[in-house]
């Protein structure tokens, strides 16, 4: 009797559960009680078109995605780590979107001159110059995986400046361009020693050196050099030469130096200037980003390091 009662009791529990399973409706998207299913965000880069001034001086229409692919192929070695390439894609996108709001060219957002805007190498040109399809695919993946991602500061797009190699430290924007920018601060950038342009030396005769600066070449050149003041990032802020004060950026331009982080030595009638790093050294160091990626840093961590206080956001989200 007890066994029959127990079986009846269990059957009474099982029947409602069985019926619930048989007649349960599939949850609909939007039902309050259904599981949350987030749809994949719509592609941003492929939906945006911009006008680019090409090397022939003609205007060219292309999607932001295609443009960024060409920029990253031109601006950073495809052999770099994926996270470094992603960081490059984000800063290139941020730079481009900022210029689309208003830039240096009347009819175009950007040009293909790296000395003015950003470099550009079409995949066909890259392959024609001996590049591999696997490298193009790797760069394309970096662009696609960061689709729409840009850097903001105080709700606005930043000026996402970048350069090749810092020589150990980046520079404050105010030290190079005379304008204080809160997210462009001097930060350490270790691990760049293997960069091909980490250091460089250029030598001048005393007459060449003096002529480039508009100075007299008379007297002992060892006595020409006076007080030097350095920036927070280790560059030359000011240097006194033959009693005249020059800024670091002025000397870099006049002497054709790779950076403002330099020292001077004199040997008889020869003046040698040794530089560290390559570029203006403001913003993201590309070789520094590579060094960080090699030690396990993510794209977001790289960007947070080089752009103080900037926020990574996605456009069109």
Q: What is the pLDDT of residues 211-224, one digit of tens each?
A: 999 999 999 999 99
List the single range of 4-13, 67-76, 167-176, 208-217 with lowest mean pLDDT: 4-13
In a domain, 61, yes or no: yes
Q: Are residues 145 and 285 in the same domain?
A: yes
pLDDT at 35 over 90: no
pLDDT above 50 for 153: yes
Residue 206, pLDDT > 70, answer: yes
- Mean pLDDT for the stretch of residues 172-190: 96
Same domain, 53 and 105: yes
pLDDT at 39: 55
Structure tokens at 198: 């980490």
User: Do residues 80 and 214 share a domain?
Assistant: no
- What's the confidence (pLDDT) of residue 26? 34
**Residue 28 domain-assigned?**
no
User: What band does 11 get if pLDDT is binned at 50, 70 and 90?
Assistant: very low
Answer yes or no: do 125 and 242 share one domain. no
Residue 8 pLDDT: 44
Parallel, antiparallel, or unpaired: how do β-strands 236-241 and 225-230 relate?
antiparallel
Q: Where is pLDDT greater, at 145 or 25? A: 145
Q: Give CA–CA dist 46/170, Å, rounded.
A: 33
Full domain range(s) for residue 301: 45-192+281-314
Note whether 283 and 266 are within 8 A (CB): no
Nearest of 166, 160, 145 to residue 83 by alpha carbon: 145
Is residue 301 a contact partner of residue 291, using CB atoms and an 8 Å limit? no
pLDDT of residue 40: 57
The answer to the question of residue 5 being in a domain is no
In a domain, 27, yes or no: no
Whole-angstrom distance, CA of residue 13 vs CA of residue 59 = 75
Q: In 3D, which of 92, 123, 125 has the Cα closest to residue 109?
A: 92
């Amino acid at each position: 009797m007890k066994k029959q009662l127990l079986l009846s009791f269990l059957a009474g529990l099982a029947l409602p559960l069985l019926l619930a399973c048989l007649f349960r409706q599939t949850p609909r998207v939007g039902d309050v009680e259904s599981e949350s299913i987030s749809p994949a965000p719509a592609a941003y880069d492929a939906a945006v078109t911009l006008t680019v001034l090409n090397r022939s001086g003609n205007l060219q229409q292309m999607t932001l995605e295609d443009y960024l692919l060409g920029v990253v192929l031109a601006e950073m070695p495809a052999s770099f780590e994926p996270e470094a390439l992603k960081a490059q894609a984000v800063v290139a996108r941020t730079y481009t979107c900022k210029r689309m709001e208003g830039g240096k060219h009347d009819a175009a957002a950007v040009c293909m001159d790296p000395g003015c805007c950003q470099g550009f190498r079409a995949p066909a040109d890259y392959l024609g110059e001996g590049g591999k399809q696997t490298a193009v695919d790797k760069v394309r993946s970096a662009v696609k995986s960061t689709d729409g991602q840009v850097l903001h500061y105080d709700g606005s797009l930043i000026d996402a400046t970048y350069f090749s190699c810092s020589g150990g430290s980046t520079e404050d924007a105010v030290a190079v361009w005379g304008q204080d920018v809160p997210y462009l601060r001097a930060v350490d950038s270790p691990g760049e020693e293997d960069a091909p342009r980490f250091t460089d030396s250029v030598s001048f005769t005393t007459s060449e050196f003096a002529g480039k600066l508009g100075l007299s070449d008379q007297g002992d050149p060892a006595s020409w050099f006076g007080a030097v003041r350095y920036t927070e990032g280790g560059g030359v802020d000011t240097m006194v030469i033959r009693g005249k004060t020059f800024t670091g950026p002025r000397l870099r331009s006049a002497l054709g130096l790779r950076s403002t982080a330099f020292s001077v030595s004199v040997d008889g009638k020869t003046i040698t200037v040794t530089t560290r790093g390559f570029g203006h050294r403001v913003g993201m160091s590309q070789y520094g980003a590579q060094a960080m990626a090699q030690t396990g840093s993510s794209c977001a961590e790289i960007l947070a390091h080089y752009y103080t206080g900037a926020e990574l956001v996605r456009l069109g989200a």
